[in-house]
Amino acid sequence: MSGEEVIIKQELIIPEEVIDEEVMIVDDKALTIPEEVIDEGEMVDDDGELTGSDDTLDDYNAYLKPYACRRCPYRTTQLGPLTTHMRTHTGEKPYACDSCNYKASTRGNLMIHSRTHTGEKPYVCDICNYRSTQPGCLKIHKRAHTGEKPYACGICAYRTITGGNLKLHMKTHTVEKPYACDVCDYKSKHKGSLKKHRMNLHTVNPHTVDCENPNNAERKNENTQGQGESSREEEP
């Protein structure tokens, strides 16, 4: 057995308490369902999609994931993930960092956070020198190499590598402008645009800036600088 094979097997052994069911990959071939539970001919159509009445589908889902949250539709196959999920409702964070005030709802999240103190970045890109503290960041990074953009806008042809980028993009299709300037009436769809507005218009001379015509302010600044340079040239 080679050293490479040993490393691969070690990486596949994940402590149960670290697993996040929402990101866990399951081999669908390993999932078997007793024949007495469902009639496959009634439940699956030619395309492999589940069919049948709502009651039948509910019974089917209840068999696959018998542990159900009482506050939302969440269901799971094991009691452990349900216990972790309930903390999203209760706000409980029992795992505390020894180095700062950070608290987490799962031991896995605390483990990832602790790497911000140790500097450990165990997840390495096999194409470039990029390293990350968690596998999710590495997965997103690799899309820069592959060109994969799984998040698509339903209104235009825009596609992106993260859900956050798509959420930000969707604001371009709405009139929503949640970021408002506290000096003038300027509003923006993006926090970054508001920050740039404040830096460009209100940090130099906020009392003389015309927010409705910011280009006028730039011309005023240019004229002021030009007058200053002319004055210095005329001095003996």
Confidence (pLDDT) at 67: 86
Q: What phi and psi values does residue 64 have, to the nearest 5 degrees?
A: -65, -40
Confidence (pLDDT) at 124: 93
Domain assignment present for 227: no
Domain assignment present for 23: no
Do 83 and 110 lie in a common domain? no
| Domain count of the fold of the chain | 3
Do 61 and 100 lie in a common domain? no
Confidence (pLDDT) at 190: 80
Confidence (pLDDT) at 159: 92
CA distance 51 to 103: 43
pTM: predicted TM-score of the whole model, two decimal places: 0.45
71, 90, 109 — which closes off a domain? 90
Do 85 and 124 lie in a common domain? no
CATH number at residue 122: 3.30.160.60
Query: Mind listing the pLDDT tens digit for each residue in 33-47?
Result: 333 333 333 344 444
Domain assignment present for 117: yes
Do 49 and 82 lie in a common domain? yes
Do 107 and 76 lie in a common domain? no
Question: Which residue range is the domain that position 207 belongs to?
Answer: 177-217
Domain assignment present for 63: yes
What average pLDDT does this structure show over 78-94?
90
User: Which segment of 86-90, 216-220, 232-236 scores lowest on mean pLDDT?
Assistant: 232-236
Tell me what percent of the residues of the chain surpass a pLDDT of 70: 59
CATH number at residue 70: 3.30.160
Please list the residues that pair with 188 across neighbouring strands.
179
Task: Give Cβ neighbours of residue 214 (< 8 Å, ≥ 6 apart).
Answer: 200, 201
Minimal CA–CA distance to 74: which of 125, 22, 140, 117? 22
Structure tokens at 183: 């000096």
Domain assignment present for 45: yes
Detail the DSSP E strand segments found in 141-225.
Answer: 151-152, 159-160, 179-180, 187-188
Domain assignment present for 111: yes
DSSP state of 172: G
Do 187 and 209 lie in a common domain? yes
Domain assignment present for 186: yes
Structure tokens at 11: 């990486």
Do 100 and 131 lie in a common domain? yes
Domain assignment present for 135: yes
Query: Mind listing the pLDDT tens digit for each residue in 10-35?
Result: 333 334 333 333 333 333 333 333 33
